[in-house]
Structure 1
Amino acid sequence: MSAPADQLTTAPVPFVTTLSAYDLGQGSGGVHRGLPSSTVSITIPEDDPLEIAWIGRPGSRRRLRAVVAGLHLSVAELRQQGCTRGVWLRLSPLGARALLGVPASELAGQIADLADVAPQMADLPERLTACRSWPQRRALVERRLLAGLARHGDRADHGGLRATLAALSGTGRVQDAARSLGCSRRHLSSVVRTELGVTPKEYQRLVRFENARGRLVAGARAGGAGLAAVAVAAGFADQAHLTREWRAMTGDTPTGWLRAEGLAVRGSSGLQP
C-alpha cells in the first residue's frame, strides 16, 4: 500500500524501507488510494481511526485505529476525516516476521488492526499522539520496531529469503530465478507462497509495478518523464504494455494517477490520456 507520492522517506531500521510522517491535506478530502504493493505497510493516523476498504470489493470497509496491510495486488481507499496527519511505514516482506512476529503470508491481501497483528504494539497509536514532534514520533516507532526485532528477528532464514527475492526481482522469468538459485520452479513457488502469500509471478508483477511507479514519480518531480522510457527501464515491453498493466492493477492510467497525486508526466509525444 502506497503513501501519497510526495511523502516517501527512507528509514534506518532493518527491514524498514520507509518511515514517514504524512498529511493527506484538506484538498484531498482526507482520501488516498493505496496502490498494489510488494511490502507490508502500517498506517497510524494521528487522532481519529482510519476508514479503509478494497476498491471494488463490497463489504470490505473497516474502521481501524492503526492499519496493517499485507502484500496486495488490489487498490485500497483510505479515508481520514478531521485531522489528516499520521505516521506511515513500509516493511520489506521479511520484516513482517522479523519485526511483528508473523509471516507476510498471513497478511497477504488483508487489512488488519495493528493491535491484532502485534499486540505488543497496541498502545503505539496513543503513545504517538502524546508525542509533540516528528523526531519524537519517529524515535518511538524505531524503538518499538527494534524491540520487535530483538524478540522475533532470529525466526527466519533472512539470508536465504533475501537471495530468493533478489533473484525474482532480477529477472522477468520465474524459471530463470529458480535456475540462478539452484532449485526447481516448484520448490521456489512453494517457498514464496509460504513466506509471502503470493506466487513468484505475482511478486515479480508487484516489483515491476513499483519500479515503474518510482520512476514515474522521480520523472514528474524532475519536470516530466517520458512514459516510453519509464516502461522500458521498469521491464515492460513498451509504453502500451505499461499502460495496460496500470489499468489492470489500478483502474487508471499512469498519467491519470499522477494527476490525482498533483504531478504531471510527459508521454512519448506529449501528455498521454
Structure 2
Amino acid sequence: MAVPTPLAPYVASVAAYDVDLGEPGIHRGLPSTSLTFVLPVDAPLEVSWAGRPASRTRGWSSVSGLHAAPAEIRHDGTQRGVQLALTPAGARALFGVPASALAGELLELGELSDLTPGLRNLPERLAGESDPTRWTDLVERELLRALVHHGDPSVPAAVGRALARLTRGAGVQEVAAEVGYSRRHLTTLVRAECGLAPKELQRVARFERSRVLLGRRPLAEVASRCGYADQAHLTREWGVLAGCPPTTWLREEFPFLQDLSVAGAEG
C-alpha cells in the first residue's frame, strides 16, 4: 500500500500480513538494502541469524539493520502483524540513530533509547486493536509523530546520493568521482551511515535485484541482467547470502510469498 508522502523518504513499504502456512517451520529473512521493522500480533516473533543460535531473540517487535547473511524466523504455521522496510535515512528520522548502529543487529524497540512513547508502545496498542485494517494506519500515525520529534535529521546529501547510486549498481570509483570524495573517504562515510562498505552494499543490492526476478526469468537471464558473471556465480552468491541455492528458496518460499501478496492486497 502507498506510504504517506512525508514518510516516503524513510519508509520504503508498510504492509499488514496474515498468512497461514499450514504447519510450523522456518522462514528465511534475506539481506536487503532496506532495514526491517516487524510488529507481530498474536505471538512473539522468534528470529536469529542463520547458524548463530545464540543470536535468537523472541519479542513483540524486531528491528534489524542491513546485513549480508540470512536470518531465520521460526513460526507455528500462522503469522499476523505489520512489516515495514525502512530506508537507511529512516533509522535517523524515526529511531534517532544512524542505520550503522543497527547493522547486523536483531533488536526490540525497547532497546532503542531515543524512541517516542507512541513508537515504544506500538506492540501493546496493536495487540489491543481488533480490526487488522487499522493496523497500518496506527503504525503510520506514530511514525509521523516520530518524524516530527527527531526533526528530520537528514543524511548528508553527498552520502545519500552515493547510497542511491551504489544500490543501483554503479561502481565504487565512479560514485566516488561523482560525489567528489576519494574512494577511501567514500568507504568510510558509507560504512558510518549504513553499516556496510560500498562493495558489500553493492553485493546486497545485486542480490536483491536477482530475488525480484527469480521465478519470472530463466536463471541464466537473471544472472546476466543483475550483473553476475554467469549462473554459477549467481548460485554461489545465493549460497552465501541466502544460505541456499535460488531454486531451493523458490520451492520453500513460494507459498509464503503468495499468501503475503494476497494479505498485502487485502490490507
Q: TM-score range by the shorter chain?
A: 0.7 to 0.9
Equivalent residue runs for 1:155-166 within 5 Å: 155-157=153-155, 159-166=157-164
Q: Is the 8 A contact 2:206 2:226 kept in 1?
A: yes
- Counterpart mapping for 1:172-251 below 5 A: 172-216=170-214, 220=215, 224-251=216-243
**Which structure has the higher relative contact order (CA within 8 Å, separation 6+)?**
2
Any idea what the Cα deviations from partners look like across 1:16-65, whole Å, max 9, x if unmatched?
11111223424251531101122111111112211111111131111111
1:39 aligns with 2:34: yes
Question: Structure 2: which amino acid aligns with 1:43?
Answer: V
Unmatched 5+ residue regions in structure 2?
A: 256-267
> Residue 6 of structure 1 corresponds to which residue in structure 2?
none
Aligned to 2:137: 139
Q: Which of 50, 53, 77 pairs up with 2:45?
A: 50
Superposed displacement of residue 133, structure 1: 2.7
Deviation at 1:157, TM superposition (A): 3.2
In the alignment, which of 74, 91, 97 is matched to residue 96 of structure 1?
91
Q: Structure 1 stretches of 5 or more lacking a match?
A: 1-8, 264-273
**Are 1:60 and 2:59 an aligned pair?**
no
1:209-235: CA deviations, max 9, x gaps? 11111122xxx3xxx421111112112
2:254 matches 1:262: yes
Aligned equivalents of 1:249, 1:150: Cα separation in 2: 36
| Amino acid paired to 1:244 | R
C-alpha distance in 2, partners of 1:225/1:261? 17
Distance (whole Å) between structure 1 residues aligned to residue 247 and residue 23 of structure 2: 18
Does residue 1:78 correspond to 2:70, yes or no?
A: no
TM superposition shift of 1:10: 5.1
Question: Structure 1 stretch 183-192 or stretch 130-139: which is displaced more?
Answer: 130-139
Structure 1: how far apart are the matches of 2:140 and 2:134? 10
TM-score normalized by structure 1?
A: 0.85
What do you get for the CA RMSD once the two structures are aligned? 1.9
1:21 is matched with: 16
> What secondary structure sits across from 2:53 in the alignment?
coil
Over residues 49-82 of structure 1, what are the superposed CA-to-partner deviations in whole Å (9 max), with x where a residue is unaligned?
Answer: 1111111113111111101011011111112337
Q: If each structure's strand is expressed as a fraction of its own residues, which one has the higher value?
A: 2
1:86 is displaced (CA, Å) by 1.1
Question: Structure 1 residues 39, 170: CA separation in 2 closer, same or farther (over 3 Å shift)?
Answer: closer
Q: CA deviation at 1:171?
A: 3.5
Give, as a single letter, the amino acid of the residue that structure 1 aligns with 2:72: E
Q: Distance in 1 between matches of 2:187 and 2:175?
A: 11
| CA distance in 2 between partners of 1:28 and 1:211 (Å) | 30
Q: Output the CA distance in 1 between the equivalents of 2:79 and 2:99.
A: 28
2:263 aligned residue: none
Aligned equivalents of 1:83 and 1:56: distance in 2?
24
Q: Percent identity of the aligned residues? A: 47
Question: 1:246–1:252: 8 Å Cα contact kept in structure 2?
Answer: yes
Q: Which moved more, 1:174-183 or 1:65-74?
A: 174-183
